[in-house]
């Protein structure tokens, strides 16, 4: 399968975005302290494939540990639907929470574990 345009956002609808992502490529399930608590399934895309449609002023930023990833949450409902960061080479990327995309069947999305707890 190839990339498709997906729409997603937070629970209350204050934050909305579209992203070009290949959900058949799967998602990462990280065991770090934040991902394990929020239950995210992450897919990483270049920031050029992500468009925040609304809600920039509704986002609250949270950085921890090495402060490389900007975890953003809706200030109304608390949902973390994506995060911002950069690859080691400096390329800007978005970590999309696949659980926050509409019209995808998560049962068909393969997942792979990532040991973020050890970092």
| pLDDT single digits (tens) 5-52 | 999 999 999 999 999 999 999 999 999 888 899 999 999 999 999 999
Burial 27-53 (b: 16+ CB within 10 A, else e): bbbbebebbeeeebbbbebeeeebebe
Q: Is residue 34 part of a domain?
A: yes
Mean residue pLDDT across the chain: 92
pTM: 0.91
The whole-angstrom separation of Cα 14 and Cα 32 is 27
Q: Is residue 81 part of a domain?
A: yes
Tell me which residue range forms the domain holding 17: 4-100
**For residue 114, is it within any domain?**
no
Specify the number of domains making up the chain: 1
Q: What are phi and psi of 3, to 5 degrees?
A: -60, 145
Token code pair at residue 68: 């490389």
pLDDT at 116: 86
Residue 9 covered by a domain: yes
> Domain with 91 in it: what CATH number?
2.170.150.70
Residues 6+ apart with CB under 8 A from 74: 10, 11, 12, 14, 15, 55, 58, 59, 60, 81
71: in domain: yes
pLDDT at 48: 97
């Amino acid at each position: 399968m190839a990339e498709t345009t997906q729409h997603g956002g937070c629970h209350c609808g204050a934050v909305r975005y579209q992203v070009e992502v290949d959900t058949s490529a799967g998602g990462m399930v990280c065991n770090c302290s934040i991902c394990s608590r929020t239950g995210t399934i992450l897919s990483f895309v270049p920031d050029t494939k992500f468009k925040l449609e609304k809600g920039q002023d509704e986002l609250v930023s949270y950085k921890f540990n090495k402060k490389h990833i900007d975890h953003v949450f809706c200030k109304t409902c608390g949902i973390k639907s994506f995060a911002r960061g950069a690859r080691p080479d400096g390329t800007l990327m978005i970590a999309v929470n696949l659980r926050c995309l509409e019209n995808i069947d998560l049962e068909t999305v393969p997942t792979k574990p990532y040991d973020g707890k050890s970092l």
